Amino acid sequence: MIHATRVLLINAINTYAEVETRYPNLGLGYLAASVRKKLSDAPIEFKIIDRNIQQVIKEFKPNLAGITSVSQNFNIAQKYADYCGSQGIPVVMGGIHITCIPESLPKSASAACLGESEWTFVDIMKAFLNNSLNPHTLNSISGIAYWEDGKLIKTKPRTFEFCLDNIPLPARDLLPIESHSYMFTSRGCPYLCSFCASSRFWNKVRFFSAEYVVNEIEVLIRDYNVKMISFFDDLFISHRQRMRDIVSLLERRSLIGKVDFTCSCRANMVDDELAQILARMGVVSVGIGFESGNDEILKYLKGKTISVEHNKRAIDILKRNDIAVNGSFVIGSPRETKEQIIDTYNFIKNNNLDLFDIYLLTPYPGTPVWEYAKSRGIVSDPVFDWSRLNINTCQISNKKIIILSEVLSKKQLLSLYRKFICLRFWRNIQKVIHHPMRRDVPKMVWKKLKELLYLKKA
């Protein structure tokens, strides 16, 4: 009897944070699906989890563990890696954090996959199945990092997959898929916002074809009874002809109206034609990173291609086409004054947004803002308390909150932040009743209450 190799894939998250438990990790689903495609003859059993790690390890008895996390949860990922190592389980790490700071790879891990990792993980699995996760074999695998004799070795970078359609659909059979699900239709972003690591992680923009996208939509509707799909691309609208092709295919297959969509937009790209394409497709809500109501701060955060006038116009156009507009804003840039922050506050009050979120500017590895924070000695790598990078400020103590402002004290900035939070609370309560995503509210509220109870006890 041939025993299957058991592979445990772990998404290291804060399980008490509502926003982190909202959706399963598709990235791990892509890894499992890629191994299944390339090593179809090998008996491999996958399990994907984000909690109860010790109990699952005891029951599943994995032969290999893969761990991914974003920067704010890397403390958690390190603990998981150390625990797996203590149980004699080889560990491979991946994700945006370890890609940006491979030097933070725990000594308990055998290797890290850097950047896009579907085919890298396939090569790791081949080596593991041959009982050869040793430095000599690892050195022949492109796109990884590992420790050898106390020195971090980084192999030659792996070439990105040119044709994304070669990557199989993520293994959703391993994930809990609910009526509001999500998918990716592209990788990368053509813009370089100073606070965003995504465009640095993906390096260049690539797209799944319209046919691939519509096939995946059809699978979600047919096999999982999904009623709403959110496109989690950095910028779903960046290839307009592909959008037209997606809509045409959806119409040809009689899929329009069977599912609602949400996506992200960039304000300077929104015009009447785009809004009409989105409405025709069935997009009921878009999210836009407006970031600021002040042109000088917008230039610092997002470059020269965006303005407050773009932001206002985008809201007006989308609302005219009956598309809900959700905005996100960032305060606390290094030279941002109180008056400039109030510009953002007034922008929110005076424009017809449906929902909005507010964040303090947080430095993430791989971004210019991170390098700025390093230059001031506010952050460091590879050793740091990564939980301080939590953008959900209410989840961490005031002592841990990172303040980048050179002109406002922590007390002043947090006072302004609380002013936004109060506006957000009352505005969102009034608007959410009529919002297209209101079906998610009961579950979100229940999870949020549990999160608040946890924070009160912590």
Is the distance from CB of 65 to CB of 125 less than 8 angstroms?
no
19 contacts: CB under 8 Å, gap ≥ 6? 392
Could you tell me the domains of the chain?
A: 5-154 (3.40.50.2300), 177-457 (3.80.30.20)
Angle in degrees, CA 285, 326, 398, rounded to 5: 145
pTM of the model: 0.95
Please give the chain's pLDDT, 458 residues, in tens.
568 999 999 999 999 888 899 999 999 999 999 999 999 999 999 999 999 999 999 999 999 999 999 999 999 999 999 999 999 999 999 999 999 999 999 999 999 999 999 999 999 999 999 987 888 899 999 999 999 999 999 999 999 999 999 999 999 999 999 999 999 999 999 998 999 988 788 878 999 999 999 999 999 999 999 999 999 999 999 999 999 999 999 999 999 999 999 999 999 999 999 999 999 999 999 999 999 999 999 999 999 999 999 999 999 999 999 999 999 999 999 999 999 999 999 999 999 999 999 999 999 999 999 999 999 999 999 989 999 999 888 888 889 999 999 999 999 999 999 999 999 998 888 888 888 888 787 777 777 777 777 766 66
